[in-house]
Copies of this chain bind each other. A is one copy, B any other.
């Protein structure tokens, strides 16, 4: 029997989940839930229902894992605990500082209902967390570095769009090659925020807008840009659409550490991602962990878990024998 999946929220991530399910023959999409008018929503999967979010509870017993595709700012803090009362759930909650609090609330809901929840699944948090973790457990005497990009930051792009006179914008976070190479040398350099990343902004301004002011407002914006070397390019709406419509991202997690009687040997562990589509890759990670969530649930696990709790073998539909023979 296939693992029956529900998608709760049908933006870029929800569409990515739908595509990912089609690459995993042990899964099927049962229904997509939307806050919009369901009659206006077209999905790609034949046979799957499209429902209003208010109908979700009627799917208890018909969905094994509900995948929550809302945003971390306001959607998931409410949705994940609420849905965990009804279903096994997986989310991609990515506000790092608030993960412990989110976990506690989801755990309470899941334990009360006897469901299994998995939060903060994706690549950061997610695969990057796992790699920071494995590397730290192997090389306790060492130092971690994470670089992001080159990729589109939605939050920074939105911040630019809020400036008066800006019609549209796209912001790329770019890791500094020299800083990455210094880390790769194993010398454990101390790096400032400015030394690690630069920010490139592509901005469409309204006709007659004061470009110098816009550029200054971007570059001086606290938290978002003030601590970085920022470049601003004014381009046309056509150029933005033609050259910057993708959602690429990626990054690198590096740990260097020392071993030996006199700590004389250096080792460098590096994990890197180059992604054409951030939401589609995130969706691919989530779908694998949805499989694991279902398996852990069928084995009796209850409560809220993270990627650190999942035996890797649970992510695959393949048998243990096959995995050992082909991958070990």
Residues of chain A at the chain B interface (Cβ within 8 Å): 16, 19-20, 23-24, 44, 96, 99-100, 103, 120, 125, 127, 129-134, 136-141, 184, 186, 259-261, 264-277, 280-281, 283-285, 288, 306-313, 315-316, 320-321, 323-325, 327-328
Partner pick for A328 among B277, B306, B315, B325, CB 8 A cutoff: B306
A166 to chain B, nearest CB (A): 28
Closest 8 interchain pairs by CB? A265-B276, A137-B315, A259-B280, A265-B277, A308-B313, A268-B274, A137-B288, A129-B328
- A311 touching B310, Cβ below 8 Å: yes
- A327 touching B136, Cβ below 8 Å: yes
Q: How far is the CA of A281 from the CA of B142 in the complex (A)?
A: 13
Given contacts A274-B267, A284-B259, contact A328 B136 (CB under 8 A): no
Partner pick for A129 among B259, B267, B327, CB 8 A cutoff: B327
Partner pick for A100 among B24, B139, B259, B325, CB 8 A cutoff: B325
- A277 touching B306, Cβ below 8 Å: no
Q: How far is the CA of A100 from the CA of B306 in the complex (A)?
A: 30
For residue A97, which residue of chain B has the nearest CB? Answer: B325
What are 10 A-B residue pairs whose CB atoms fall within 8 Å in the complex? A127-B269, A130-B312, A138-B285, A259-B281, A260-B280, A264-B276, A265-B275, A267-B280, A269-B271, A308-B311
Residue numbers in B under 8 Å from A273 (CB-CB): 267-270
Given contacts A138-B284, A272-B270, contact A313 B324 (CB under 8 A): no
A170 to chain B, nearest CB (A): 18
- B261 touching A277, Cβ below 8 Å: no
Beyond the given A23-B141, A306-B328, A310-B312, please list 5 additional residue pairs across the A-B interface where CB-CB is below 8 A: A99-B328, A133-B316, A259-B284, A266-B276, A309-B311
A282 to chain B, nearest CB (A): 10
For residue A134, which residue of chain B has the nearest CB? Answer: B312
- B308 touching A312, Cβ below 8 Å: yes
Q: How far is the CA of A272 from the CA of B267 in the complex (A)?
A: 11
Q: How far is the CA of A69 from the CA of B306 in the complex (A)?
A: 33
A221 to chain B, nearest CB (A): 28
Q: How far is the CA of A200 from the CA of B24 in the complex (A)?
A: 43
Most chain B beta-carbon contacts within 10 A, residue among A20, A259, A266, A320: A259
Residue numbers in B under 8 Å from A16 (CB-CB): 259
Residue numbers in B under 8 Å from A140 (CB-CB): 23-24
A36 to chain B, nearest CB (A): 20
Residue numbers in B under 8 Å from A24 (CB-CB): 140
Given contacts A259-B280, A277-B265, contact A137 B270 (CB under 8 A): no
Q: How far is the CA of A44 from the CA of B260 in the complex (A)?
A: 12
A21 to chain B, nearest CB (A): 11
Q: How far is the CA of A255 from the CA of B131 in the complex (A)?
A: 16
